[in-house]
């Protein structure tokens, strides 16, 4: 790969401080400053190098091919919000598939993994969750970060699009694992492990929120109308979030399976098989949890509608009972208001008798309705 065209750089390359195992490179065309950064075509770049199992501080973006030409060298390159020219030049230098490059920059790419003869390409979405605010208008709790990666024999190239994902956590995960010993398979595992952990956290947050909705289901029916509307909006928003999370989580099974299959074909780091099996198990657990929460939030939404119907039926039942009670004095007083003689007409006891009849029948009806739980 040495001698192929390399991405043109703007700005000056600055030597990182000794002992630093990775270097950031950021576009600074307007400023000719040198603070440990460099500008390859206006995108943010960082990287790490391991030689003979030891991290090296001398990463330079325009020397990637030289690093890969060295034996026992492992390289990670991360590009944040690159333009097409920068990524295309890097792809030409490393022999990456041109269609994979297009997919890495496409605005709405789904989660997938594609195996090419010289490398593997996959796209995943990391997920962060915002803190739910019960007093504010319901809004999405999910913040998705798109990450694409090219997996070569001794290099991992990650391409990230906004919003920015905390790649530092991935770098720390690599430090916890003996990455140089296991090669690029350890880099891929560390990245996917952080992504799946984020999925777990997102599902946990949504689970807690849905449990809160369940607690509110059987609140006293005296809630204000605006609170009921907020409940409906929140449940609907949680349902939408679960649909989005499901689209991100379910295809992860195929991604991990494809990477595992490629590893087995090339006999790369069989010592990592237990870790990949555990990763796949986590992916399955998140998928099943997401499906169960989807059913749960659907049940909450439908139960809320059923409870509203039940409350409406209860109100109508009570109104009907009181209407029957009120109808009694209306009928009796209407009858006694006729201009015809009736028992007690023109006499004092006639008025007392009619009043007693009204009160007695109303009490009897009230007791009957109360016994049947109509009031």
pLDDT tens per residue across span 332-349: 777 666 656 667 667 777
- 14 pLDDT band, cuts 50/70/90, is very low
Structure tokens at 346: 């023109």
Looking at per-residue pLDDT, the higher value among 289 and 266 belongs to 289
Half-sphere exposure of 99 (CA within 13 A, CB side): 5
pLDDT at 222 over 70: no
Q: What is the pLDDT of residue 125?
A: 96
Kindly give, in sequence order, each residue whose CB lies less than 8 Å from that of residue 286, ignoring residues fewer than 6 positions away: 196, 199, 200, 203, 249, 252
Average pLDDT over all residues of the chain:
80
Q: What is the pLDDT of residue 233?
A: 85
Q: What is the pLDDT of residue 214?
A: 83
Average pLDDT (96-111) is 91
- 35 pLDDT band, cuts 50/70/90, is very low
How does DSSP classify residue 35? S
What percentage of the chain reaches a pLDDT higher than 70? 81
Half-sphere exposure of 96 (CA within 13 A, CB side): 31
* 144 Rama sector, left if φ>0, alpha if ψ -120 to 50, beta otherwise: beta
For the ranges 74-83, 129-138, 216-225, which has the lowest average pLDDT?
Answer: 216-225
Domain boundaries, the chain: 314-371
- 96 pLDDT band, cuts 50/70/90, is very high
For the ranges 12-16, 46-50, 161-165, which has the lowest average pLDDT?
Answer: 12-16
Please say whether the beta carbons of 3 and 37 come within 8 A: no
Looking at per-residue pLDDT, the higher value among 213 and 253 belongs to 253
Looking at per-residue pLDDT, the higher value among 126 and 263 belongs to 126
| pTM across the whole model | 0.74
Average pLDDT (293-305) is 86
Q: What is the pLDDT of residue 74?
A: 92
- What backbone phi and psi angles, to 5 degrees, belong to 160? -115, 140
* 53 Rama sector, left if φ>0, alpha if ψ -120 to 50, beta otherwise: left
Please say whether the beta carbons of 152 and 118 come within 8 A: yes
Q: What is the pLDDT of residue 32?
A: 30
Structure tokens at 276: 């990949």
pLDDT at 76 over 70: yes
Please say whether the beta carbons of 1 and 93 come within 8 A: yes
Looking at per-residue pLDDT, the higher value among 181 and 281 belongs to 281
């Amino acid at each position: 790969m040495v001698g192929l065209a390399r991405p043109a750089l703007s700005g000056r390359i600055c030597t990182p401080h000794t002992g630093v195992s990775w270097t950031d490179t950021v576009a600074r065309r307007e400023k000719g400053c040198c603070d440990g950064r460099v500008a390859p075509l206006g995108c943010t770049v960082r990287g790490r190098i391991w030689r003979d199992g030891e991290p090296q501080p001398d990463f330079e973006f325009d020397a990637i091919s030289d690093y890969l030409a060295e034996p026992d060298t492992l390289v990670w390159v991360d590009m944040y919000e690159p333009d097409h020219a920068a990524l295309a030049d890097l792809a030409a230098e490393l022999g990456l598939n041109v269609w994979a490059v297009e997919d890495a920059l496409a605005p709405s790419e789904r989660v997938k993994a594609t195996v090419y003869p010289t490398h593997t390409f996959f796209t995943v979405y990391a997920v962060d969750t915002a803190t739910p605010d019960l007093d504010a208008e319901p809004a999405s709790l999910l913040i998705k970060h798109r990450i694409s990666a090219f997996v070569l024999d001794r290099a991992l190239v990650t391409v990230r699009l906004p919003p920015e994902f905390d790649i530092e956590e991935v770098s720390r995960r690599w430090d916890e694992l003996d990455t140089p010993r296991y090669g690029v398979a350890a880099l891929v595992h560390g990245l996917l492990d952080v992504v799946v952990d984020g999925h777990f956290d997102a599902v946990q947050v949504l689970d807690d929120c849905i449990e809160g909705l369940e607690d509110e289901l059987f609140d006293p029916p005296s809630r204000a109308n605006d609170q009921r509307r907020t409940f409906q909006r929140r449940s609907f928003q949680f349902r939408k979030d679960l649909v989005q999370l499901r689209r991100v989580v379910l295809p992860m099974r195929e991604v991990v399976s494809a990477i595992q299959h490629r590893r087995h074909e090339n006999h790369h780091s069989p010592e990592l098989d237990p870790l990949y099996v555990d990763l796949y198990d986590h992916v399955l657990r998140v998928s099943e949890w997401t499906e169960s929460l989807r059913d749960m939030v659907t049940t909450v939404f439908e139960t809320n509608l059923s409870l509203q119907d039940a409350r409406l039926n209860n109100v109508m039942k009570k109104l009907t009972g009181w209407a029957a009670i009120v109808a009694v004095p209306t009928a009796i007083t209407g009858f006694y208001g006729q201009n015809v003689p009736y028992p007690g007409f023109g006499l004092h006891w006639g008025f007392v008798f009619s009043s007693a009849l009204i009160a007695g029948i109303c009490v009897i009806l009230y007791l009957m309705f109360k016994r049947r739980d109509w009031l």
